[in-house]
Structure 1
Amino acid sequence: MPPSAAPQAGDSASALRTCESALRDNALTPEHWLGRAGACLQSGDFRGGAAAAAEAASLAPHSVLARKILGAACAGLGDPGAALNHYAAAVALDGRDKEAHNGVAAALNDLREFARALAASEITLSLWPDFAPAHYNRGVALAALGRPEDAIASYRQALAQNPGFVEALNNCAVLLARAQRSGEAIKLLDRAVERAPDYAPAHANRGRALADLGRDAEALASCERALALNPNDAESGLTRAHLLLAAGEVREGLAALEWRRRLPAWTERRFAFPEWRGGQASGAKILVWAEQGLGDTLHFSRYASLLAARGAAVTLAVQNPLRWLLAKLPGVRVIGLDQASQEAHDAHAPLMSLPRRLGLNAADLFVEPARLDIGDAPLARWRAKLQPDLFHIGVAWQGNPSGDVDRGRSFPLAALAPLSRLPGVKLWSLQKNAGAEQMRDIAGLFAVEDPGPVFDAGPDAFIDTAALMASLDLVVTCDTALAHLAGSLRRPVWIALQVASEWRWLRDRDDSPFYPTARLFRQSRPGDWPELFRRMEVALGERRFI
């Protein structure tokens, strides 16, 4: 239940004693039941609060307070529909009750009816423009409706009225961090944890914001505090895993990586055979299935060969665009994910759990990437298109923009202008889908060759990208699947990384033990892509590739 929707209650212990005394005397009045209801609400006993408020409402059908307490109790019990009905009844009884109006907005937010919640909040604010909880609920609705700057403004309005409003501090910080304003976010979250040291969401979000700025030790401490307060916080568990892995704490980090399977977005695959948890593998038929993005599959597919080397008959189920590229993975039979449930095996395992199940340490983790099979015909087709006297660079600047994973990792295509100006250099776009529209923005400024509409258009979509990459002199990319593809192809690849890069690029180094042909260019300051590409321009001019 959002505190912004809860009616105020008095001293809970005193109210309970008064109500129990009246109960003994058989002299309970609506006021006694309301006192008990408020006391239950204050102590977190939502069921008891609802029961007591219902008794009060039965004795005093026109009691606005009874309806408000019923609304708050139902919200606390996870029944926003009932909460909305009670708050709406309270408004009908007294249209000048600001808590009742605000409760309607809060319940509509809980019901994910955000447009209606926004309208309800604005009605409340038209009557009480300085009411902090209404600004808060307006912020919740605006954020959900894809208006983050307006939501930030609403949260700031709530904080102007109530500087210690912990939920507003937390929610505003989340939006600031998503907007790559993590420094501002941390200031708000510091205020939140000072005000409410046991408020787990603030510690969790503080950990992520600190990680965004590369302040890993502080981020790890915040994540661990969040987990101590809320042992079921999968986001903090996974952030902690990434921080440990980036620091080289492989065993502990791989164990913590299992938190990914408790995220809301995780889809657990069900099979008629058990999950392989490690141990004896020789002679077992084990199905390993890809579970995340294409880059993760390319990165972790090497460990399927390690499992096969221990005597298992390994079938690896992957996304269709990778099926033929990985077809010659040593010791491994490769199928499409859509075939995974059609075959019988002795056991199964999600791909990214393999390193832990295999008991790998840091030395074992950094094995050679999987070798990919492109085929002669695609290679010949793309090599024929390349002018031999030029230095050809493939470029990709945008990852999948959905979700927080893209926060800060993509750079604008315009940032590549310094590379295009070097003599004898020709840039080729490897960008598909999101980000490709930026080609229009640089028209007339500098040239990037578009491979054309048939590029990766067929059923084996990644084959064209791989064949063109294998024909190029260099690949320059943000941290996306194409970085893993280039590394697996053993092509020189320069990866442009934000300050807080993804865990697999580790920290404080410009090479990658996962991909020997990779060179890492890291931001010197958050968001400063121009400085990074100036360094890249100098390196390219000197032809220093690794």
Structure 2
Amino acid sequence: MTTALRDLLSRAGVALNEGRPAGAEPALRHAIALEPAAAEALCLAGLAAHLAGRPDGAIRWFGRTVRLQPGNATAHSGLGEEFRRAGRLDEATRHGRLAAAIEPGDVNALHNLAITSYDRLEIGRSVACSRCALRLAPQMPGPHFELAEALLLSGRFEEGWDEYEWRFRLPGAPPPLPPHLLEARGTAPPPQWDGRPLPDGGRLLLVADQGFGDVIQFARYLPLVEALGPDLIVAASAEMVPILRQLVDEHRIHEDWGSLPDFQAWCALSGLPRLFGTTLETIPSATPYLDADPELAAWWKRRLDQLVPRRYRRIGLVWAGRPTHGNDHNRSLDLHRLAPLLDLDEVAFVSLQIGPAAMEIGRYFGRAPLINFGPEIADFDDTMAILRGLERLVSVDTAVAHLAGAMGVPVSLLLPFAPDWRWLLEQGDSPWYPVATLHRQTAPGCWDEPVREVAARLRAESRRRGAAQFPP
């Protein structure tokens, strides 16, 4: 290696270590121009493209690297990760296994292979890869969290909840309590709650952490916590207040960290299943535990009565989640993929879709009426009120699906091939929401079968309804 090439690679390495892929790329372009067959430069170019969010470029550079240097574990691992994100799981598995075979001690390769195995629903292999990674790096958060997801998905809750506690240590994960909150108090931070009653009626802070769907799901534990007698306060975003005030007095809910009174212990809402020793058999599943405001529900029902003929069934529809969600490319679909549903007779679909995906309604020319309430939904109070006037919700894995389940509104849930852990494996129902039916992809990215299942269910319900109204 020439001195010039070594200097260029050193400069690029410094920029990449500092998280500046754009700063590394000029040096790498120069290096590759000097020596097109320099495998180290090509591999670093693949890493820079990966960090810059250019998967095609990463695949191209990593691919050139392994053609020149088939034993380069880093390039194989990089290809495995890029192919996994692109849904090319067979190729991801092949390169991931090569990386792990070349470098058995490469923790990142084992971790990436665990994620790919989960995406292929090879849960036993995913667990094994995570455990191998943790034997090498016991304090690495990623394999702990991936192990948690695989264990919980397979119903192994006891160990799964313990591993799930590593979620706050993941790189980039916000802490459950902001550091400045504890620093401002000038004392030792209050401990994480261990589930036992606090002495002398001490105050407990619960933090409504993670996504909206998580808060809705785990809010069911609030009455169980209150039954233990602590002076309870809840920290939550403003969006969650319509949900939480149905389960705890509104004056106990704080939207601003600065308004919190002193507290003696704290716990994330998502940590309550572990503290209560939740198993598949003991999930608090009584529904409804949420409901709509009666006056608001009546107002929305009048809107529906004006827009939907009486003989039409009223079915809610949500086909996409937040685009910023890390798994949104797997859980969301395009409106046109729901064509078998939207061809049903005497069914009016009510869109509760918000965000960029709602713009697809402008290109809708389906047979069934599609009423767009999305632009009028101000908050979860509106969403609950609309749901109360519907017969059923058809939805991908979003907060609205959790909301329907918590209200006791039947929900047909469209799930990707490798679903979130809470929907478990294979079964067509959910112990978290007894009113939910689960319709799963049978192959990654293929929505045809679950959509046809829901359409067939709605069609059969319509036939039964017609037979009951007009008996022979």
TM-score w.r.t. the length of structure 1 is 0.77
1:389 aligns with 2:311: yes
Residue by residue over 1:518-542, the C-alpha shift from the partner in whole angstroms, topping out at 9 and shown as x without a partner, is 0000111111101221222111111
Aligned residues: 448
Equivalent position of 1:195 in the other structure: 102
Residue by residue over 1:190-226, the C-alpha shift from the partner in whole angstroms, topping out at 9 and shown as x without a partner, is 1011111111111000000000111111111011111
Choose which of 475, 481, 490 in structure 1 pairs with 2:393. Answer: 475
437-446 or 262-271: which moved more? Answer: 437-446
Distance 1:184 1:446, change over 3 A: farther
Q: Is the CA contact 2:347–2:369 (under 8 Å) kept in the aligned structure 1?
A: no
Q: Is the CA contact 2:344–2:368 (under 8 Å) kept in the aligned structure 1?
A: no
Q: Match of 2:170, as an amino acid?
A: L
Q: Is the CA contact 1:455–1:465 (under 8 Å) kept in the aligned structure 2?
A: yes
Q: Is the CA contact 1:304–1:332 (under 8 Å) kept in the aligned structure 2?
A: no
1:430 aligns with 2:352: yes
Equivalent position of 1:455 in the other structure: 377
Distance 1:117 1:409, change over 3 A: same
* Unmatched tracts of structure 2, length 5 or more: 465-472
Secondary structure, counterpart of 1:288 in structure 2? strand
Choose which of 265, 270, 276 in structure 1 pairs with 2:193. Answer: 276
Aligned mates of 1:258, 1:340 — CA distance in 2:
26
Q: Is the CA contact 2:347–2:368 (under 8 Å) kept in the aligned structure 1?
A: no
Choose which of 123, 131, 134 in structure 2 pairs with 1:227. Answer: 134
Secondary structure, counterpart of 1:193 in structure 2? helix
Secondary structure, counterpart of 1:362 in structure 2? coil
Choose which of 46, 67, 78 in structure 2 pairs with 1:171. Answer: 78
Greater relative contact order, per chain length (Cα 8 Å cut-off, separation 6+): 2
Q: Match of 2:353, as an amino acid?
A: Q
1:214 aligns with 2:136: no
* Unmatched tracts of structure 1, length 5 or more: 1-6, 8-63, 65-93
Equivalent position of 1:180 in the other structure: 87
Instruction: Spell out the pairing of 1:388-427 with structure 2 (5 A cutoff).
Output: 388-427=310-349
Choose which of 253, 259, 266 in structure 1 pairs with 2:174. Answer: 266
Aligned mates of 1:350, 1:153 — CA distance in 2:
42
1:119 aligns with 2:37: no
Shift of 1:373: 4.1
Aligned mates of 1:531, 1:355 — CA distance in 2:
33
Equivalent position of 2:55 in the other structure: 148
Q: Is the CA contact 1:326–1:372 (under 8 Å) kept in the aligned structure 2?
A: no
Secondary structure, counterpart of 1:394 in structure 2? strand
Residue by residue over 1:69-100, the C-alpha shift from the partner in whole angstroms, topping out at 9 and shown as x without a partner, is xxxxxxxxxxxxxxxxxxxxxxxxx5xx3232
Q: Match of 2:317, as an amino acid?
A: V
Aligned mates of 1:403, 1:540 — CA distance in 2:
30
Secondary structure, counterpart of 1:104 in structure 2? helix
Shift of 1:340: 7.0
Shift of 1:369: 5.0
Aligned mates of 2:236, 2:424 — CA distance in 1:
26
Q: Is the CA contact 2:145–2:163 (under 8 Å) kept in the aligned structure 1?
A: yes
Q: Match of 2:261, as an amino acid?
A: E
Q: Is the CA contact 1:308–1:332 (under 8 Å) kept in the aligned structure 2?
A: no
Equivalent position of 2:155 in the other structure: 248
Shift of 1:115: 2.2
Q: Match of 1:180, as an amino acid?
A: G
Equivalent position of 2:470 in the other structure: none
Residue by residue over 1:351-394, the C-alpha shift from the partner in whole angstroms, topping out at 9 and shown as x without a partner, is 11122223333332243256224212221121112223211121
1:319 aligns with 2:237: yes
Equivalent position of 2:461 in the other structure: 543
Q: Is the CA contact 2:206–2:268 (under 8 Å) kept in the aligned structure 1?
A: yes
Shift of 1:248: 1.7
Secondary structure, counterpart of 2:234 in structure 1? strand
Equivalent position of 1:35 in the other structure: none
Equivalent position of 1:362 in the other structure: 280
Shift of 1:168: 0.9
Residue by residue over 1:450-501, the C-alpha shift from the partner in whole angstroms, topping out at 9 and shown as x without a partner, is 1163322xxxx11111111111111111111111111011101011111111
314-323 or 128-137: which moved more? Answer: 314-323
Secondary structure, counterpart of 2:331 in structure 1? coil
Distance 1:172 1:447, change over 3 A: farther
Aligned mates of 1:278, 1:268 — CA distance in 2:
17
Equivalent position of 1:78 in the other structure: none
Secondary structure, counterpart of 1:427 in structure 2? strand
